């Protein structure tokens, strides 16, 4: 995974998919717990690939 964080705008730019299609896909991915929206805003939302972040965080919990 090149970048575990992305905005819908960055995904539009990288994929060439329309903004509406990207946002619809992000809604579905969020419902499936594949991505997590981090900003709680309506615009300029930041998403993370939840599985990647979970894997990279294993073993880093404080005792």
The pLDDT > 70 percentage for the chain reads 92
pLDDT at position 43 over 90: no
C-alpha–C-alpha distance, residues 30 and 50, integer Å: 9
Report residue 42's pLDDT band, with 50, 70 and 90 as the boundaries. Answer: confident
Q: Is the dihedral of CA 48, 52, 54, 57 positive or negative?
A: negative
As a whole number, the mean pLDDT across the chain is 86
C-alpha dihedral (58, 60, 8, 39), degrees to nearest 10? 130
pLDDT tens track for 3-33:
789 999 999 999 999 999 999 999 999 999 8
CATH of domain 5-57: 1.10.10.10
Predicted confidence at residue 22, as pLDDT, reads 94
Which residue ranges make up each domain of the chain?
5-57
Residue entry with tokens 């073993």: 59
Predicted confidence at residue 2, as pLDDT, reads 66
C-alpha–C-alpha distance, residues 19 and 21, integer Å: 5
């Amino acid at each position: 995974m090149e970048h575990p964080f992305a905005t819908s705008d960055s995904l539009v730019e990288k994929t060439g998919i329309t903004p509406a299609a990207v946002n619809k896909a992000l809604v579905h991915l969020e419902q499936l717990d594949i991505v997590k929206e981090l900003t709680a805003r309506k615009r300029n939302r930041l998403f993370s690939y939840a599985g990647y972040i979970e894997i990279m965080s294993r073993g880093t919990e404080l005792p």
